[in-house]
Amino acid sequence: MTLKPGKNIRLFKNPVLEVMTYVHPIMPIAIWGPVIAYCLYLGAHLGVSVTISLFASGLFVWTLAEYLLHRYMFHYVPNTKAGERFIFLIHGIHHDDPDDQRRLLMPPVPAILLASLFYGLFSLVLGTDLANPFYAGFLVGYLCYDYVHFFTHFGRYQTGPMKALQHNHMKHHFRTDGKLYGVSNPLWDYIFKTKV
């Protein structure tokens, strides 16, 4: 698959840093697929019903994390130049150039850093044994978000759930970036009244 640049906005003068902002669609599953499998393997001794319950709980918690991260972190309005640059790097670039296929998925370095923080938090709260299958579900939710986001920008849907998600996300981009923060699902937009 050849990924097409949009306006070709350059983020870094350093060519190595610049290329690290481009992500091929296979990259997230290549990184997180083995982590998910390993976490499920580590949680297998808990039994099928406990593992499934923790996995489903992690998946559900992801939906809230997706909404909160998108609303409060990615759309944070900083009051310093450094803060403005940081927000532009993590999300502003996407709103300035939503047609850049190379930047629709989270680059590995920030994804691994953020994922490590979440794993640490879950381990602290649940203990490592319970955190593993919970984290696997959380990561599956993240992958759903990443790929739904990618395909809402470049898919052609006439009907069905992807058409509705695409409609919401395009409204978020082109009509109101202060609403519709759910990308892979609209649940929390309904709950927090940010659905239009």
Show Cβ contacts of residue 164 under 8 Å, excluding neighbours closer than 6 positions: 186
What is the structure's pLDDT at 2? 67
What is the structure's pLDDT at 133? 98
What is the structure's pLDDT at 104? 87
Q: Which residues of the chain have pLDDT under 70?
A: 1-3
What is the structure's pLDDT at 74? 92
Output the six-digit token pair for 59. Answer: 């998946």
Give me the residue label for tokens 């091929």: 24
Amino acid identity for residue 83 in this structure: G
Tell me the whole-structure pTM to 2 decimals.
0.93
What is the structure's pLDDT at 49? 97
